[in-house]
Each structure stands twice: as C-alpha cells, then as structure tokens.
Chains A and B, each alone.
Chain A
Amino acid sequence: MAKTIRLDIVTPEKMAFSTEVSMVIARTTAGDIGILPGHAPLIAALAIWPLRIITDGEEILISMCGGFIEVQPEKITILANCAELPEEIDVERAETAKARAENHLRDNNSDVARAEVALKRAMVRLRVAEHKKQHRM
C-alpha cells in the first residue's frame, strides 16, 4: 500500500475532515504547494482556494476560505474558518453571494476589500461544486 499521511481539517464549528490521504495540494499565499507523506514541518497561510486531496489516485476538492496549514511528517492539520465538502455546498447560496459581492464591487461606496473576499469565497465554492459535477458524469 502506498504511504499515506493523516489530514485533519479543523474549523471553529467542528472537525470537518479527518482521514488518511496520499497527497494534498494547497494554495498558500505564496503559491501552490504539494505535500506528500514525510514532508518537513511547515506552517503556511492559505489563500482562498480549493484544497485538492488525492487518495488512491482519486481527487477530491474541498472548498476553503483561508486559514493555515501545519505540516508534520505524519500529520497535516488545516485550520480554516470554513471548509466544505463538495456535497455540503449550497450552490444557490454561493450564486447569490457571488451576485451580491459583484454588486458591492460595482458600487463604489461599499467595502471593496470585504466584497472581494466574499466574491472569492463564492467562486471557490462554485468551482468545487462544478468539479464534482464533472466527475460524476
């Protein structure tokens, strides 16, 4: 059996995800990193981007909205404000959030930084949901 590494995704609400995986690809604020079992200890800040998890040649996407990744040789811990498995994503809500954020961006009076973050989050969710749909077909 291929070597695996333990992945825990912790959010303030719950332990979102906890399983053995063979590889994790995450986008940090400095760029993508791939983590295989036995990786050197590392701490990095994550960008708002889907997390790719590869287990036995299969790939799952998890939508994340920022956070941190802590890597130890046998264990990866991800601290995120939110993390959603593809089947947990409320596509409709993400669509409305996206539309709302875009509106805010057009409107000069609103908080641009906040709207941008909201837009990014919505895009990530939609992307993950889309990815899942494609794989099912």
Chain B
Amino acid sequence: MPNAQDIRRRIKSVKNIEQITKAMKMVAAARLRRAQEKAAASLPYTQKVREVLASVASHASDLSHPLLEVREVKNIAYLVLSADKGLAGAYSSNVIKEVLPRIAGKENSSVIAVGRKARDYFKRRGFRIDEEFTGFSEKPTLQHAINIARSVGEGFKSGRYDEIHLVYTVFHSAITQKATSVKLLPIEDMTGADANPSDYIFEPSAEEVLSHLVPQYLETTIYGALLQASASELGARMTAMGSATDNAEELIAKLILNYNKIRQATITREISEIVGGAEALK
C-alpha cells in the first residue's frame, strides 16, 4: 500500500492539472462564442457571392477562366485545415483520418497543410508537403484566407495541381463536428438552383465580372472553411477539456477516499500499539 505522503502529493498534482484543464475549457468556451459569431456573420456574404456567381455563370456565354478549367487529373493537392495546438480531443486526428486514405500510397498527391498538427503529422510520415500555413488556426482572418487562396490558385493555374480538395471540419455544435472533404478547384457546378432568374445587365461584361468574381469566390470559400474549422477546434477543445476536468475530479475523489483509509488505518494501528504496550506493562 502506498503511504499517505505519496497520495497527498498525487492529489496535489491532479488538482493542479484540473485547474489547468478548467482554465483551458473556459478560454475555449469564450473564444468559441466569438468564433461562432464570426462564422455566422460571414454566412450572408458567402451565400451572396455564390448567388451572384451562379447568376453570372448562367448568363455568361463563354465560361472560361483559369480556375474553372477541368483537366485530366494527374496531380491532386489536399488543403488540410487542422489545429496549431493539441489538447483538442480528436479534432486534428479526425481531419487527418479523412485525408489519409486518399493520399496513402499515391505518388501524385500532396498536402498543403494549414495548422501545425497536420504539417507535423504528414511530415513525420514522409508525405509531400508543398506548402504550410501555421499560427492562426484559432483566429483566422480574411487576409489569411486571401494568402491561401492566392497560393492554391497559383498552383492550380500553373498546372502543378489538376485538382485541389479542401478537407476541414464542419461545425454543427460544440460537441458535434464533422470532418469533410470538398472539391475546391476547379470550381464546378456553379449554376446551382439558387441562380437568380432575373435578367442582369453586366458591367462591363459577364466575362469580365466572372474574372473578378471567381478569385473572390475562392477566397470566400476558404475563409468560410477556416472559420468553421476554428469554431470546430474550439468546440472540440472545450469538450475535451471539460471531460478532462470531470475525470480529474473523479480521480481526486478516489484518491481522497484512499488517503483517508490509509490515514485511519495508521491511527488504528498506533492506538492498538499503545494499548498493546500498556497491556504489556501491567
């Protein structure tokens, strides 16, 4: 049986851990609210861009744009949005699991990593990482999205990739997030059901508008995904830290019970020793 001193030390260290996980949970919860608001605030914009793009696409006679070009698929890149820091439960590994079966054993696929976790994982296992963007997974800004969009756009235009997929986590609620993969480039299926039926005048021309709109659409899509991913990350972290705090509490309760048992056993033993000693003196 461990002695009382050891258990006391153990309780103290578990308490310290509990404090840390609790603090992390609170921080994640506070940031999650902000991230959720941001994700919600960007929705009308994203929808509108999609709508406008759809109506432009249905009117333009000649839909040629470097980012819309469908080629024979030789090289595929996966843009993977993961976390920069750990302690977020299975958040990053879920995203990685989504990517892994697609790239495992394939020569022609590469990874564009966003967030340190994805970068480290794929680097360690010898996958090709063409580019990495780190340091903003929790609070992405539009500028980050623009940088990523520019770089993947270039990669696609130059023919380095024939297809680019975006793998990120869709935020449903603080406890449910789902890793998903969507095809980012070439942009397909723009003439969706939400195309506005009214006849637009295009200034200066539908093609010109399209050429401005397509890069914008790419940026917006990436920005939306970044926001979803950051909300998911914080949600995952909050849940993970919440359950860590619960576990710590449970462990502390068990340890305290144990500690008391040992303490009482020692007292009982001491009393019986004293009584025994007194008896012997008679």
Of A10, A41, A45, A72, the residue contacting B209 (CB under 8 A) is A45
Contact of A12 with B208 in the complex, beta carbons under 8 Å: no
Q: Contacts A43-B52, A79-B49 given: A12-B204 contact, CB under 8 Å?
A: no
Which of A42, A45, A67, A81 is within 8 Å of B142, CB to CB?
A81
- Size category of the B interface is 20 to 34
Q: Are A79's CB and B48's CB within 8 A?
A: yes
Residues in B with CB closer than 8 Å to A33 are 203
Binary interface profile of A, 1-27, with partner B (CB < 8 Å = 1, else 0)? Answer: 000000000111111000000000000
B221 to chain A, nearest CB (A): 11
CB within 8 Å of A: which B197-224 residues:
198-204, 208-209, 212-213, 216, 220, 223
Q: A93 vs B71: C-alpha distance in the bound complex, in angstroms?
A: 44
Which A51-73 residues have C-beta < 8 A from chain B?
66-68, 70, 72
Question: What residues of chain B lie closer than 8 Å to A66, measured between beta carbons?
Answer: 212
Provide the bound-state CA to CA distance between A66 and B148, in Å: 19
- For the complex formed, measure the closest distance between the CB of B19 and the CB atoms of chain A, giving whole angstroms: 35
Centre residue among B41, B44, B45 by max chain A CB count within 10 A: B45
Measured CB to CB, the closest approach of chain A to B206, in angstroms, equals: 8
Chain A nearest Cβ from B141, distance in angstroms: 9
Contact of A45 with B208 in the complex, beta carbons under 8 Å:
yes
Chain A residues, CB < 8 A from B45: 10-12, 79
Q: Which residues of B contact A72 (CB under 8 A)?
A: 198
User: Are B41 and A15 closer than 8 Å at their CB atoms?
Assistant: yes
Interfacial chain B residues near A42, Cβ < 8 Å: 200-203
Within 8 A of A (CB), among B20-54: 38, 41-42, 44-46, 48-49, 52
In the bound complex, how far is the Cα of B208 from the Cα of A28, in angstroms? Answer: 11
> Is B248 in the interface zone, CB < 8 Å from A?
no
Q: Is the CB of A10 within 8 A of B48?
A: yes
* Least Cβ–Cβ distance between A10 and chain B, in angstroms: 5
B204 touches A28 (CB 8 A): yes
A15 with B44, Cβ < 8 A, contacts A30-B204, A41-B201 known: yes
Q: How far is the CA of A12 from the CA of B45 in the complex (A)?
A: 6
Is B169 located at the chain interface by the 8 A CB criterion?
no
Cβ of A20 to closest chain B Cβ, rounded Å: 18
Closest to B220 in A: A12
Q: In the complex, are the beta carbons of A43 and B209 less than 8 A apart?
A: yes
User: Would you call B137 an interface residue if the criterion is a C-beta within 8 Å of the partner chain's C-beta atoms?
Assistant: no
Whether A29 is near chain B, meaning CB under 8 Å from some CB there, is yes
Interfacial residues of chain B within 106-142, with CB under 8 A of chain A in the complex: 142
Say whether B245 faces chain A, with CB atoms less than 8 Å apart: no
Interface assignment of B92: CB less than 8 Å from any CB of chain A? no
Q: A43-B52, A44-B209 are in contact. Are A28 and B203 (CB under 8 A)?
A: yes
Nearest Cβ in chain B — how far from A30, in angstroms? 4
Nearest chain B CB to A35's CB is how many angstroms away? 11
Residue contact B49 to A29, C-beta cutoff 8 Å: no
Instruction: Tell me the bound Cα distance from A77 to B55 in angstroms.
Output: 14
B200 and A43 contacting across the interface, CB-CB below 8 Å? yes
Q: Hey, which bits of chain B sit against chain A, CB under 8 A?
A: 38, 41-42, 44-46, 48-49, 52, 55-56, 142, 196, 198-204, 208-209, 212-213, 216, 220, 223
Pairs of residues from A and B, 5 with the lowest C-beta to C-beta distance, nearest first: A44-B203, A30-B204, A45-B212, A42-B201, A41-B198
Measured CB to CB, the residues of A under 8 A from B are 10-15, 28-30, 33, 40-45, 66-68, 70, 72, 77, 79, 81
Contacts A14-B41, A72-B198 supplied; 10 other A-B pairs, CB < 8 Å: A15-B44, A28-B203, A42-B200, A43-B52, A43-B203, A44-B203, A45-B212, A66-B212, A79-B52, A81-B216
- A–B complex contacts, Cβ < 8 Å, 24 sampled: A10-B44, A12-B46, A12-B142, A12-B220, A13-B42, A28-B204, A29-B203, A29-B204, A29-B212, A41-B196, A41-B199, A41-B200, A42-B200, A43-B55, A43-B201, A44-B202, A44-B203, A45-B203, A45-B212, A66-B212, A68-B213, A70-B200, A77-B48, A79-B48
